[in-house]
Chains A and B, each alone.
Chain A
């Protein structure tokens, strides 16, 4: 889809007037000197650098730390709209969790013929040794990020489910901090739902999933792959904000049926591990004998109820884009309701008819790897050269089951600040959802990612996308 195609401008109506949600913000914006805004624009970057809010880019010099561009025009969602969204998100997350439980137990959904067995049998994220085991509190997906895109006033779609280890929440928090310190008066004029208690709610939600062996207040630790990981800043930030320890694999060891962390006083049992490492790096005894990042024996402790691992091993199945394509059936199967949030139309290239269609319409579609993430390895038909299309066609024909295709959506736009004033750019939204045994908690807001380049639809930070503060207005 090209620039000319109809796209939804979240700030302006087609006649150029301002939509109600942005009304007071735009009044404020009008009153500001452009010099002042320009200065603030640069101040923001300096402040991110000073506080070290950076990420490392894979494949670049390890010492290279980059800033994710921050845009200071907020993305605003009104209270009613947010309420509708949260109902849809909650329904979807409930279904995801029920689906995980079912997949690792009786597999009713497969018996009922609603999803094919091969879907997860061929999935690397499927873990046979989770079969028959129920994690503490029955929770699989403790932290979920649901990626949403918008195409019209009431048209929101789920683009992706991130049930393994969704990242970006530190940007949601820091973006708000930055906005509040740069424009304090703005927050007295516009009533915005706070996001700052996310870490406290995360700590509470994780503690509520502690295993029964826990004595006293649950000990929570954040498990990071280490300082060269692209999201290390976020791992440290969340641990800090929760008052939890930030541990690496080498800090943990299995002792007396528990997982202990090596403190200056000796090994101290950990009750809940919020892991930001992939399944493969959890336990070299179970997954990957070559791994130096794992904790030998941790899966045995887990299965014996000695520790909670969040998210549960094996939840990566849900991130698979072939599974995604069945989400409408999955939601209906477990909740008995029609999905409140629709999927984007998806062609499974594993099916002959779909493949034929996709090959015929390659130049109009977005094609993604089923296991891919971060915008790597995907094709955006409309912006690709003839040669790129031809190369991709070969890959697709060689291994069709590895791909799904979707239409190029006319993603909504929200203005960003540029030297020449406000200019529309495409955005998406990742709200963050916390799941505990008796509660689903959605922080009012989330991470808005924005394609900084004019016309671009790619919002991934690894591909030059930026972020915005996301405001949910108070009622």
Chain B
């Protein structure tokens, strides 16, 4: 496979994951804002923008935080290079670039989702349609992943695509936790006083983990439990541990196909060892922020090593 094609597949799925995660974040914010008064809902929208990593771009354009402004900015603003629309454009552009390496079912799933989303986002999104748009973005992601699972050869292209997915997903969970934890730190102690469980509920919703967490923890919401769930619980498909082990499997498969291990496999092994022995107590001892920062930079290093090992660019 061409290095450029591998690059296209990898980024196609990173952007898809990013678009989906942004939609989840927005969904959680919407729900939160509904249950709040005007002042704290403004606070909530600021937090959504910040968690999405779009604060600077947003504030360059708007002085206030309102729901309509926020979701239009996140979903479709032409000045926002990380808008869901622009990410979906990237998904499709990369799919066109890698057209030969993907099944026609996968291509059609991407193209059709893109056409629907583009159509919905052609006009400003109102209170009554925002939920529908968010659902459509998530459904687009589901459709694409499903088409891939059912029709793609399990050759290197598949593993590049999956590596992109899990690298991005792990990073996204880590970032959400890092930002939210920082915001909430003064207001509660890690042993579990429940000053504002609503915020933690939002964190769980942002990663579609609210039901899973409640199921495993009998409804008990506390910081320690949630952090453990999002970081170390291998059963939750958006936890750092899960993403890491899936990424490891994909990188191992790539090494096997290519008959040689590269720097990415080496870095992956190091990262694995660090994460495998971790307990939640050790995480807090080390400092959650530092732990997450380390995780994100190791993740980024693995990403660069993949690009290097497999000659993504000239």
Contact = CB atoms under 8 A, between A and B. Distances in A.
Interface of A: 49-52, 63, 227, 232, 236, 239-240, 245-248, 250-251, 253, 261-266
Interface in B61-107: 89, 93, 96-97, 99-100, 104, 107
A253 B104 CA distance: 30
B159 to A, nearest CB: 10
B156 interface: yes
B2 A263 contact: yes
A236 B100 contact: yes
Contacts of B4: 248, 250-251, 262
B311 interface: yes
A296 to B, nearest CB: 12
Contacts of A262: 2-4, 311, 314
B2 A266 contact: no
A340 B250 CA distance: 61
Interface stretch (B52-60, B108-116, B268-276): B108-116
A50 B100 CA distance: 16
Contacts of A250: 4, 314
B200 interface: no
B interface: dominant SS: helix
Interface of B: 1-4, 6, 89, 93, 96-97, 99-100, 104, 107-108, 111-112, 115, 156, 258, 310-311, 314
8 contacts: A50-B112, A232-B96, A240-B99, A246-B2, A248-B4, A263-B3, A264-B2, A266-B311
A246 B314 CA distance: 16
Contacts of B1: 263-264
A52 B100 contact: no
B2 A51 contact: no
Could you say which of B3, B107, B112, B258 has the most chain A C-beta atoms within 10 Å of its C-beta? B3
Nearest to A249: B314
A50 B111 contact: yes
B97 A227 contact: yes
Contact of A264 (B96, B107, B115, B310): B310
A227 B115 contact: no
Contacts of B97: 227
Contacts of A253: 314
Nearest to B115: A49
B291 to A, nearest CB: 33
Given A250-B314, A263-B3, 16 more contacts: A50-B111, A50-B115, A51-B107, A52-B96, A52-B111, A63-B89, A227-B93, A239-B100, A246-B2, A246-B99, A251-B3, A251-B4, A261-B2, A262-B2, A262-B314, A264-B3
B104 A51 contact: yes
Contacts of B156: 264
A49 B89 CA distance: 16
